[in-house]
Amino acid sequence: MTSTGPCETSTAGKKCARLFYLDLSQGRIYAIDRNGSNREVIVTDCHLPDGIAIDVEAGHIYWTNMGVPSLDDGSIERADLDGKNRKVIVPVGVTHTPKQIHLDRENGKLYWCDREGMRVMRSNLDGSVVEILIKTGEGAKDAHDQTKWCVGITLDQACGHIYWTQKGPDNAGLGRIYRANIDIPKGEKADRRSDIEVWLDKLPEPIDLELDVESRVLYWTDRGDPPLGNTVNRLSIDAQANARTPEIVFTHLMEGIGIALDAPGNMMFMTDLAGSVYAARLDGSQKSVLQVAQGNLSGIAYAELPSKER
């Protein structure tokens, strides 16, 4: 463990603001303070971890293991905030290549995207009652079509919508963000839904999504080449179709992946495959680098923990 200073107090007062992020190359989960100090190894021996969510109230970390796509050995795990009591909750064979994960604690659900599985899925918090909500393809041929790959995910509970990305091939300009109702319309199926909308298209390679619930602004990372790619973008989810022009608020990511928001604190945090953790205001100003050359980083989550957790 590397300790360089006290836990930084969050905007909420006597709470410890922490970032949890995933390292694909080492198969680890790390935690740092929001200023980059106090780095700890929380979990080791993860199988290509990609998405992460924190349930502060229950004291749990959830993360997805992509596994090796050709082996169809992805899974989802849960552990305590200190890495103890680790448990596989969605075992191998249930989900193919799970990517970003979203926690809906109020309704007791986990949502995630399954890349080569070409699905949007959910389960109970204990991994039971796994459901397929969206299905974009089936079989090996479809699985090679990257326009069918589901990657990033978030929910707009106020309007009952789910948003997800389908990244498309590298730098092809075929990436899309989709929107649909959270639940499948009555009488319809995951692969034949009438409520799916292409919310935004012609994107380089959209990856992870986060929603600022109060301002109703969607943020996402994009892995494509500059000037539009390797960026963080944002756009109001209430924008009309003819006015959906993304605003680029952060540039010069090196294969950008994860994004997490501290909306009340006016901050966002990002990771990239080159191994950096970045911080900036929500408008992209006051940029800083919190970690450098830390492997191949994927998902990131922000949490405000009770001081006793530190």
Q: Is residue 71 part of a domain?
A: yes
User: Into how many domains does the chain fold?
Assistant: 1
Q: Is residue 98 part of a domain?
A: yes
CATH of the domain at 46: 2.120.10.30
Give the residue numbers spanning the domain of 69. 15-309
Residues forming beta bridges with residue 152, ordered by sequence position = none
Nearest to 278 by CA among 2, 92, 19: 19
Per-residue pLDDT for the chain (310 aa), expressed as one digit of tens each? Answer: 333 334 555 554 568 999 999 999 999 999 999 999 999 999 999 999 999 999 999 999 999 999 999 999 999 999 999 999 999 999 999 999 999 999 999 999 999 999 999 999 999 999 999 999 999 999 999 999 999 999 999 999 999 999 999 999 998 999 999 999 999 999 999 999 999 999 999 999 999 999 999 999 999 999 989 999 999 999 999 999 999 999 999 999 999 999 999 999 999 999 999 999 999 999 999 999 999 999 999 999 999 998 754 4
Does this model's pTM top 0.75? Answer: yes
Q: Is residue 108 part of a domain?
A: yes
Q: Is residue 141 part of a domain?
A: yes
Nearest to 271 by CA among 283, 286, 289: 289
Q: Which residues contact 106 (CB under 8 A, 6 or more apart)?
A: 157
